Amino acid sequence: MLQRTPLAVAVLGLLLAGCGAEEPYTRVSAALTDGVLLPAYTAWAEADRQLVDSAQTFCAGEQSLEQARASYLSAHRSWSALQPLQLGPLSENNLAWQVQFWPDKKNLVARQVEALLNSQPQLTQAELDKGSVVVQGLTAYEYVLFDPNIDLGDSAVQQRYCPLLIAIGNHQQALSSDVLARWKDEDGMQARLRSFPNDRYADAQEAVSDLLRTQVSAIDGLKKKLGAPLGRQSKGVPQPYQAEAWRSGASLAILAAAVDSAERLWQGANQDGLRSLLNSEHSELATRIGAAYADTRQRLGALDQPLGQLLADEAGRTALNALYDSLNRLHRLQEGELARALGIQIGFNAHDGD
């Protein structure tokens, strides 16, 4: 019978302890991949498929403008839900700019759309695909559907803009389908978040750290998207045209979609998200983070007017500033206390210095 020396027993104990410490992170990373991230990427690709169908049906005269607008809003909400989940392909090669151009500080969307159609009145898919990101994404699509100076009820006007709507829809569908396929590849993000070590993550704790950093950065980004129109970067002077999706009045709805997605990362699809990594020692912190999400959701739900209207009066601005403060508390709790509790270094993010 093989005899185990005291040293061998000690080494085995350390190895088993290491595996035990790793297991919860492996479980959470896999659960969030299957229950939160992949469903969100799949929903985005499906919303873009429906956007293509909508553009084609609308331009064939078989769908109302209201229905076309609803399809756009669904696509934008699905895209916004990915903000806290932008790992892998979407975070590379500036792909996100092809989906949404924001902030549009100089009305580049309107100017470049009109310049493109003036130079290419019979716009082809290839011309759109090789063009500027300013005209390839949802912001340009929104401009065509919602700008008051574009009367899509006029057949000549519709004929001018429909090739662009269809081309944007096709571009978005191709992009989202490609990203989803790359997630599902044999060596894609799905595999990398489920089995360790791999060429991206040495272990599951590193993967969970990446998930938290992405979420924290996204919530910080939501603060910027709310703070810009509130005038937090312009000495308190409201800047309504700096709002995300201001033409459609959907700014708060798409912000809510991103907050909901961030909370799903925290809770998990089956109570198996980041929260489940906190032990009883940190139960009070978990309660405070849950309350912070509830507070942000409650404040969003209480805003029954579009962002632009709320910015126009003092009571509306007060409510929006309270929402900003709520987002800030949520951001700081997770960036600071949650990261420390999980032993994660957040570091700098894409919004630092904005």
Angle (CA) 28 29 34, round 5°: 95
**Pairwise CA distance, residues 274 & 261, whole Å:** 13
The identity of residue 51, as a single letter, is: L
The model carries a pTM of 0.91
User: What is the DSSP annotation of 55-99?
Assistant: HHHHHTT-S-HHHHHHHHHHHHHHHHTTGGG--GGGGSTTHHHHH
Angle (CA) 285 80 222, round 5°: 50
Q: Which CATH fold topology does 25-341 show?
A: A middle domain of Talin 1 (1.20.1420)
Domain ranges of the chain: 25-341
Distant-in-sequence, close-in-space partners of 283: CB < 8 Å, separation ≥ 6: none
- List the chain residues with pLDDT less than 70: 1-22, 348-354
pLDDT in tens, 314-349: 999 999 999 999 999 999 999 999 999 999 998 754
**Pairwise CA distance, residues 184 & 5, whole Å:** 46
pLDDT of residue 348: 53
Token pair of 212 as six digits = 């938290």
Token pair of 282 as six digits = 């940190």
